[in-house]
A and B are shown apart, each in its own frame.
Chain A
Amino acid sequence: EDQVTQSPEALRLQEGESSSLNCSYTVSGLRGLFWYRQDPGKGPEFLFTLYSAGEEKEKERLKATLTKKESFLHITAPKPEDSATYLCAALDNTDKLIFGTGTRLQVFP
C-alpha cells in the first residue's frame, strides 16, 4: 500500500539552529514529491516539487532534496516565522496525492 511517513512529529528549535525534516515514501510510480507549509487554520502553501532522485531545490532558508526512498527538508538558521507544520506529499501513478501527517516545527527566539 502506498504510504508517506514524516519524522519527527514535532520539532522545537532555537532561532538559528539548523535541522532537517524527513519524509520517507513507498509509492507506486512516483510522479512527484511535494513539500507544503501549513499555518493554523489555513490551507497548505506550496513550497517545492521534486521529480527525480538527486534533485534539489532551494528557497530562502529552505532546501529540499530527494532520493529514491526519501526526501529531506533542510532548514538553515530558522527564524520564529518559520514555525508551522510542514507537509510532504507523494503523487502516485494514478495522480493521487498521498500526504504524510506532517512535522510541527516551533522556532523560538
Chain B
Amino acid sequence: KAGVTQTPRYLIKTRGQQVTLSCSPISGHRSVSWYQQTPGQGLQFLFEYFSETQRNKGNFPGRFSGRQFSNSRSEMNVSTLELGDSALYLCASSTDYGYTFGSGTRLTVV
C-alpha cells in the first residue's frame, strides 16, 4: 500500500516569491493535514482538509493557504516568502485510526 507522497522533496526559493507544495494521501484517506517543522518550534499545525473543505486551521498568517481536490490530493501555498518560512513541511493523511506522515518538503528561503 503506497504511503503519503510529498513533492518536491527539496525547494530553494527567494524572499518574496511564492511556492506550492503537493501531498498525495494514502488511497482511501479523505483527511489531509499540514505541519511546519523548525528546530526551534517543533511541529506546528497549519491546517486540515476533509472532503475538499478546510476543517481546522492553526495560528499562521494568511500567506499560508491550502486546498484539497476531489481525489483527496492537497496543495499548500505560501505567498511572499520570508526567511523565517524555511522549514520542513509535512503532510499527514488520516483516518479514525491514526495519522501517517509523508517524508516532507524541505523549503529553504534565501
Instruction: Give me the interface of A with B, judged by CB distance under 8 Å.
Output: 34, 36, 41-46, 49, 87, 89, 94-102
Contact = CB atoms under 8 A, between A and B. Distances in A.
5 contacts: A41-B103, A44-B90, A95-B56, A97-B33, A97-B35
Chain B interface category by residue count:
20 to 34
B42 interface: yes
Interface in B33-75: 33, 35, 41-45, 48, 55-56, 58
Nearest to A89: B43
Interface of B: 4, 6, 33, 35, 41-45, 48, 55-56, 58, 90, 92, 97-104, 106
Contacts of A44: 43, 90, 101
Contacts of A49: 97-98
Contacts of B6: 43
A42 B103 contact: yes
A43 B6 CA distance: 10
Nearest to B33: A97
B102 A95 contact: no
B104 A34 contact: no
A99 B43 contact: yes
A95 B55 contact: yes
